[in-house]
Amino acid sequence: MKKIIAALLAALMLCTCFACAEESAFTFRNGLHWGMTPDEVLAVEGRTEYWDFDELSYTASITELEDLMVSKFEADIVYFFVEGKLACVEIDPALWHEYDAEDIEYLKQALSIVYGEADPNLPVPATVAALMEMSDYTVVCGWQPTEDTYIGIMSNGNYIELGYFNVNVDFVAEMMSVAPTPTPEPINTNGL
C-alpha cells in the first residue's frame, strides 16, 4: 500500500512540475507566445482584417494589424514570423503623432509595472542589435523577463516603437534569406 501511495505522490509531483513549467513560459499581450502561427495570433487578437506580407523572405513573413489599443495608445502591431512561427512583435504606439519624452516615460512606467524596472546596464542581445543596425532606431531602455525574450523601447528621433523579441532568432539572416537554388538536372549529351 505504501508503494502505491508513494507512486501516486510521485506522479502528482511530476504533473505539478510539468504544469509549473508550462505556466512559466513567457506570454504577453492577451496570451501571445513565441511559436504561435499567424492564424493563432489572429484568433488571440480577435481580428479578421489584417495586412499580410508573405514574401518578406524565403523563411520570414509579416502580419500587421491596425488600430489596436496598447496601453493608452492607438497602435499598429507588426507580427514577424519565421518559418510560420511567431518570433517578434513590434508595436507602434505613437504612430499618428511624433512622440515626446512623456510618451517614453509613460511606456517605461507601464512596462515596469508588468516586468519590473528596466535595467540600464542590460546589454541589447546580439540578434536585436543587428536588427537595430539595419534600421535607424536605437534602444532607449530594455527588459529581459525570460532567457529567450527581450523587450525594448526604441526610437529613431521622430517615432517610438515597442519591440518584443525572441532572442534565439537571427532576424537579419531570416529577413535576408532567399529560396535555395534548385540543382539543375544534368544535360543529356547521349548520342550527340
- Where do the domains of the chain lie? 38-176
Answer for the pair 175, 60: CB distance below 8 angstroms, yes or no: yes
Among candidate residues 145, 104, 150, 146, the one with its CA nearest the CA of residue 123: 150
pLDDT > 50? residue 35: yes
Strands 149-155 and 138-146: what pairing? antiparallel
- The percent of residues above 70 in pLDDT, for the chain, comes to 70
Residue 172 pLDDT > 90: no
Residue of 80, 84, 90 lying closest to 29 (CA atoms) = 90
Q: What is the arrangement of strands in the sheet containing 51-53, beginning at the earlier edge strand?
A: 51-53, 60-70, 73-82, 85-92, 160-166, 149-155, 138-146
Query: What pLDDT was estimated at residue 109?
Result: 94
pLDDT band at 174 (very low <50, low <70, confident <90, very high): low
Which of 64-68, 79-83, 100-104, 174-178 is the most confident on average?
A: 79-83
pLDDT at 184: 62
Please state the rounded mean pLDDT for residues 131-142: 82
* Mean pLDDT, all residues of the chain: 75
Q: What does pTM read for this prediction?
A: 0.73
Q: How many angstroms separate the CA atoms of 124 and 115, rounded?
A: 16
The answer on pLDDT for 192 being more than 60 is yes
Highest mean predicted confidence (pLDDT) among 2-16, 96-110, 145-159: 145-159
**pLDDT band with cut points at 50, 70 and 90 for residue 28:** confident
- Confidence grade of residue 92 (pLDDT, cut at 50, 70, 90): confident
Asked if residue 165 lies in contact with residue 150, where contact means CB atoms within 8 angstroms, the answer is: yes
Strands 138-146 and 85-92: unpaired
Band of residue 95 on the pLDDT scale cut at 50, 70, 90: low
- Of 164 and 188, the one with more pLDDT: 164
Return the C-alpha cell found at 44. Answer: 488571440
